[in-house]
């Protein structure tokens, strides 16, 4: 068996957050579970592709934000996630 490289502390935190979202999704309705899993998976993949792995400050910020979102999602009154996509070419002219 090939040996795996050990994960850094921040990598373990990211994986734990991802697993936390998936566990929490199991507590929601089947439709919302699928939607939550899709949104979370897409968000994590997008960040993995677009964020420099050495940008620890930004990664730690995303971890804090993700933990807050996970705590909100754990609330039984919250039924699911929603996303908001902002067009980066949008300009507000006053």
Q: Express each pLDDT in 36-50 by its tens digit.
A: 999 999 999 999 999
Q: Which residues contact 29 (CB under 8 A, 6 or more apart)?
A: 79
Determine the 3-state secondary structure of 28 from DSSP: coil
Q: How many CB atoms lie within 10 A of CB 35?
A: 18
CB atoms within 10 A of CB 65: 10
Q: List b or e across 7-24, with b for residues whose CB sees 16 or more CB atoms inside 10 angstroms.
A: eeeeeebbeebbebbeeb
**Is 1 part of a structural domain of the chain?**
no
Number of domains in the chain: 1
pLDDT tens-digit map of 28-78: 999 999 999 999 999 999 999 999 999 999 999 999 999 999 999 999 888
User: Is 23 part of any domain?
Assistant: yes
Average confidence (pLDDT) over 78-92: 66
Does residue 84 belong to any structural domain of this protein? no
pLDDT at 90 over 60: no
Cα–Cα distance between 28 and 26 in angstroms, integer? 6
Containing structural domain, residue 46: 9-74
In a domain, 19, yes or no: yes
Model-level pTM?
A: 0.79
pLDDT value of residue 87: 62
pLDDT at 23 over 70: yes
């Amino acid at each position: 068996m090939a040996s795996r490289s050990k994960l850094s502390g921040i990598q373990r935190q990211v994986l734990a957050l991802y697993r936390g979202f998936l566990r929490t999704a199991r507590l929601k309705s089947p439709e919302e579970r699928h939607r939550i899993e899709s949104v979370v998976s897409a968000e994590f993949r997008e960040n993995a592709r677009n964020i420099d792995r050495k940008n620890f400050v930004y990664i730690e910020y995303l971890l804090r934000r993700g933990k807050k979102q996970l705590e909100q999602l754990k609330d039984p009154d919250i039924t699911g996630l929603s996303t908001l996509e902002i067009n980066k070419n949008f300009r507000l002219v006053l």
